[in-house]
Amino acid sequence: MTKRIVKSDSAPAPIGPYSQAVEMGDFLFCSGQIGLNAETGEVVSGGVKEQTEQVMLNIGAVLAAADMKFEHVVKTTIFLTNMADFTTVNEVYGRHFSKNPPARSTVAVAGLPKGVKVEIEVIARRH
């Protein structure tokens, strides 16, 4: 198996020494996405709802760069700085996984890069 780096110009560039995603065989391992606008490199304005909307756009762009869609996602991990945001994040997240949702973990954390409220990472697999 060959390791292939996946990059999308429609998603924010990494803010550290990591790749947006790595493809190995049929699997795509996507780094966590935060609510950064790809064009400006800035956190989107608003609260956790707006950040989650941007996170899902960013994930969609990375998946598309690997010729995949949300239906290919088999596992997600959500990181929240405040579990009180759980319902709001679920509302946005659920619109992208309305049928046969992936396995998921949600973890409360003390902080996230750039002071954002939510980060989501995904693992996808080709059908």
Mean pLDDT by 10 residues, the chain (127 residues): 95 95 98 97 97 98 98 98 98 96 98 98 96
How distant is the alpha carbon of residue 116 from its chain centre? 13
The structural domains of the chain, with segments of one domain joined by +, span 3-125
Secondary structure of residue 33 in the 3-state scheme: strand
pLDDT at 110: 98
pTM summary value = 0.97
Which top CATH class is 3-125? alpha beta
Among residues 40, 102, 47, which one has the least CA distance to residue 69? Answer: 102
81 phi/psi in degrees, rounded to 5:
-85, -15
**Secondary element (H or E) of residue 64:** helix 48-65
